[in-house]
Amino acid sequence: MKVSEISKILNNWMPRSIAEDFDNVGLIIGNPESLVKNILVTLDATNDVIDEAVKKNCNLIISYHPIIFNGLKKITSDSGYVQKSIINAVKNNISIYAIHTSLDNHPEGITYFLAKKIGLKNLSTLIPKTNNLEGIKTGLGIIGKLDEPKDEDSFFDLLKDKLNLKHIRHSKKINKTISKVSIVVGSGSFAIKNSLDSEVDAFITSDLKYHNFYEADNKAILVDIGHYESENHIKLIIKEFLNKKLPNFTLLLSEGNINPVKYY
């Protein structure tokens, strides 16, 4: 099967047309006519992941984040990690396909799966899009309810257990019973107001800054679970889908893609 054929399968699942305008999704590196040997699924197509693909005889990498996001003025071996990854991929005839905000905006995308992992029910979109393409009601984030309301500490324990978290950053406790919860994976500070306007008890996201926590304004608990931690489950989503569509292909989850943020 060619790279172009697998790209078509991915696009039918998570259309490029529903991605954000600023994003860079689809086939980013490689020859569409290349025959695919094995596939490596990853969160980021870093240089280490390219090396891993070479060792495992994978010539197609399906990545959540696009390795090329901002404009590049040069591609040399003494440039940054992006340029090094590109050179490594091209040198080894490895194609890279990125899904990113197509998966963010899809009603059964990345946020949907995170909501299911923590047991949210009665799901709806937090920020619906006005232009619904491909017959899909797109939007960012999700709102749902827990089966049983929890106190704040029990809610934090639930997140740690279900999402395998070691650390959680959160706004101050306000002795609130947690039932209605909103989620935006990745950097979600832009959705604090939307969540508060929706009268949620807690908002789960990542990359919150110091002043963002004040925005809770005693109305809800803001929970920062970490960028990598909020998105790491994406690899399983992609692999699960492709296992059904491509049962004869070897599909591997990257082991080289690890959290770049360390804790002491």
pTM for the model stands at 0.91
Whole-number Å distance between alpha carbons of 237 and 224: 22
Domain ranges of the chain: 3-102+233-253, 106-228
pLDDT tens per residue, range 83-95 = 999 999 999 999 9
Q: Is the pLDDT of residue 131 over 80?
A: no
Contact 85, 46 (CB under 8 A): yes
pLDDT tens per residue, range 142-154 = 999 999 999 999 9
Residue 199: predicted pLDDT: 98
How is residue 65 written in tokens? Answer: 């984040």
Q: What is the mean pLDDT of the chain?
A: 94
Percent pLDDT > 70 in the chain is 98
Residue whose pair of structure tokens reads 């089966």 in the numeric block = 147
Q: Is the pLDDT of residue 129 over 90?
A: no
Contact 205, 185 (CB under 8 A): yes
CATH topology of domain 106-228: 3.40.1390
Contact 84, 77 (CB under 8 A): yes
Domains 3-102+233-253 and 106-228 share a fold: yes
Residue whose pair of structure tokens reads 């994003």 in the numeric block = 23
Residue 58: predicted pLDDT: 97
The highest-level CATH class for domain 3-102+233-253 is alpha beta
| Cα–Cα nearest to 67, from 48, 92, 91, 52 | 48
